[in-house]
Amino acid sequence: MNEYRFEDIVSKEESKDNYTKAEFSSTVTADKMEKFYEICGDNNPLHMDSSFAKAEGFNDRVVYGMLTASFYSTLAGVYLPGKYCILNSVESSFRSPVYIGDTLVVSGFVKVKHEATKTIEISAQIVNQDGKKVGKAKILAGFLE
């Protein structure tokens, strides 16, 4: 777990070459899908029924978009800034479907530091094992004192 403090962070505005960034990878499993279903109760057949999803033109069951987006919480809370993060907001968009078995690379960099509020704006994305961008986000994070 990273332990960045506000003063440790370098934004891309400040340095085009040496700004603060992070990434990690995670594979989406059937178990993660089941646990997410237990939490949220979304039983839409697109997520639950392989035959239905395929009949609708998808490769297989589609992973919950919010399960995919939940990795932005991990990015902020574990990696950037990490231990002292207080997550203020996440604006997320979904670009392509994610499937069980996909390995996702979640990455982000500090785009802007807001001195007045001691917050950072993180530009983040999620890319699958084929190099296809499946999501992007704008994250606003503050820091615990």
Backbone angles phi and psi of 53, in degrees to 5: -60, -45
> How far apart, in whole angstroms, are the C-alpha atoms of residue 120 and residue 100?
32
Taking all residues of the chain, what is their mean pLDDT, rounded to a whole number?
97
pLDDT over 90 (residue 65): yes
pLDDT over 90 (residue 43): yes
Backbone angles phi and psi of 133, in degrees to 5: -75, 120
Domain count, the chain: 1
Residue 67 lies in a domain: yes
Helix (H) or strand (E) segment spanning residue 31: helix 30-40
Give me the pLDDT at residue 5, please.
96
pLDDT over 90 (residue 140): yes
Backbone angles phi and psi of 76, in degrees to 5: -75, -45
Residue 1 lies in a domain: no
b or e along 19-56 (b: 16 or more beta carbons within 10 Å of the residue's beta carbon)?
A: bbbbeeebebeeebbeebbeeeeeeeeebeeeeebeee
pLDDT band at 49 (very low <50, low <70, confident <90, very high): very high
CATH number for the domain spanning 56: value is 3.10.129.10
Closest CA to 95 of 124, 73, 120, 122: 124
Residue 117 lies in a domain: yes
Write out the residue range of the structural domain in which residue 75 sits: 6-143
Judge if the upstream peptide bond of residue 81 is cis by omega within 30 degrees of 0.
yes
